[in-house]
Chain A
Amino acid sequence: MRPFTYERVRTPSEAAAAAQRPGARFIAGGTNLLDLMKLQIEAPTHLVDVNHLGLDRIEETGEGGLRIGALVRNTDLAADARVRRDYAVLSRALLAGASGQLRNKATTAGNLLQRTRCPYFYDTAQPCNKRQPGSGCAAIGGITRQLAVIGSSDACIATHPSDMAVAMRALDAIVETIDGEGGERRIPIAEFHRLPGDTPHLDTTLRSGEFITAVTLPAPVGGRHFYRKVRDRASYAFALVSVAAIVQPDGSGRVALGGVAHRPWRVEAAEGELPRGARAAMVAILDGARPTHENAFKLRLAERTLAGVLDEARS
């Protein structure tokens, strides 16, 4: 790790102010940031510890939804009785991710902001536009089995690895932030994660130093909730493809996919096809896909995973 100075802050505005310092980064659970700092993929010169801000509570909102503090641990969010009852897709997605020890430490904001698992991003001997803007992309023409099939660009074909974010996309979550001047924003999750375009080093629309205070969920939408994740081993592995779905008794519903794109992939306009079955829906959801010969299997896998979910929803 490169040297850094360390500071504990006590309030969200103190955190946002501390982040104005050049080279500063927030540290929450640390499970992604420290991993990358050990490899010198991330090299902050100042760490702002945000673990003691009292943002570890889940509260009901006036609109009948939930406001999840940015520092709520993944285990606590998955185990919350209201989340299990009304937002089961979120509990299921969290429980399908990482391991017990990691979920005990990982936070809501940190999970949203975890970086890609593209193997070339991790290999500092390889060019990577996300790690080092303008250096090129070793994944294009390389081993692409795990990488994106849709929404990618000529600069980057990485996927976003979070399971939680896929469920939050299906739930229309809103990310609440504060900046160094005290300005507040509410960013719909659909506009939070970016497509790579020609600036793949930017994962999200968060501005430099902007601090996430909470994620809110709108009032529950009912229906049956599913999170089905397909991976190379049964546990403690990232998704090849995952499907977050909320299916209503009349067959209508919402679907978001993980493992296929640079952000959780949801196409609201395609959801009208759901009552017609998985094939029709997936043709519309994955319209414009640009898979490689190594990852084209993800298209069929996504369709079949959704078919399994819709079967279960009818049972």
Chain B
Amino acid sequence: MTPPDPIALSRRTLVAGAAAMTSAGGAAAAPAAATGTTPSALTLRVNGEDRHLDLDPRTTLLDALREQLHLTGSKKGCDHGQCGACTVMVNGTRIYSCLTLAVMHDGDAVTTIEGLGSPEAMHPMQEAFVRHDGYQCGYCTPGQICASVAMLEEIKAGIPSHVTEDLNAAPALTADEIRERMSGNICRCGAYSNILDAITDVAGRPA
């Protein structure tokens, strides 16, 4: 079955999201109290730095990163785990930051695209995406890059995939493996072949 249409869904979510944001803001303490929501205190270690937050428990990790910490590299595409634009690494593992609550990550280490590299000092995967033109509009790119960096670690750790022929052997670094493992990141511009080239370029280099 296909998941429901993300575009039809996101319109409704916008309303709910806006309501959540109002009650999360400090100035809107009254509506938060009226709805019975008390802010939760938590600490996230984001890109190597401890960040203390007081959040409405409804705040997703993605909204905490974007709206509270102003790390707007992670993108909100569908907000339902169907597109991959919000991919970040938590304790080294890639996840969708839109389908998890910030309060569930008290004490966790989060790496976003901003933590991987900067325009002055790019991560090798960022460089490869530039070199191979692995994007058009660029909206999915931070998610693609975070996902691909963590994905190569998953292959190194021997985690099999749907296309791995022999479950009991180490997975090979083939184009099919990379494509299957990157299927959780959608690119509406269709830059897939250049994305694959960029990842292959990085994967092929001696570690």
Contacts and interface: CB of A to CB of B under 8 A. Distances in A.
Given A35-B99, A99-B84, A105-B100, A117 B181 contact: no
A75 B60 contact: no
A259 B183 contact: no
A269 to B, nearest CB: 28
B100 A39 contact: no
Interface residues on A, range: 35 or more
Interface of A: 1, 3-6, 27, 29-31, 34-35, 38-40, 47, 49, 51, 75, 78-79, 81, 84-85, 88, 91-92, 95-96, 98-102, 104-105, 117, 119, 122-123, 146, 159, 161, 232, 234-240, 259
Nearest to B19: A1
Given A6-B101, A30-B101, A34-B101, A239 B147 contact: no
A79 B16 contact: no
Contacts of A259: 1
B3 A3 contact: no
B37 A3 contact: yes
A6 B95 contact: no
A85 B166 CA distance: 10
A75 B104 CA distance: 19
Interface of B: 1-4, 9, 12-13, 16-17, 20, 23, 35-38, 40, 56-58, 60, 79-81, 84, 87, 93-96, 99-101, 103-104, 147, 151, 154, 157-162, 164, 167-168, 179-185
Nearest to B184: A99
Contacts of A146: 1-2
Contact of B94 (A30, A101, A119, A240): A101
B38 to A, nearest CB: 7
Contacts of B154: 75, 100
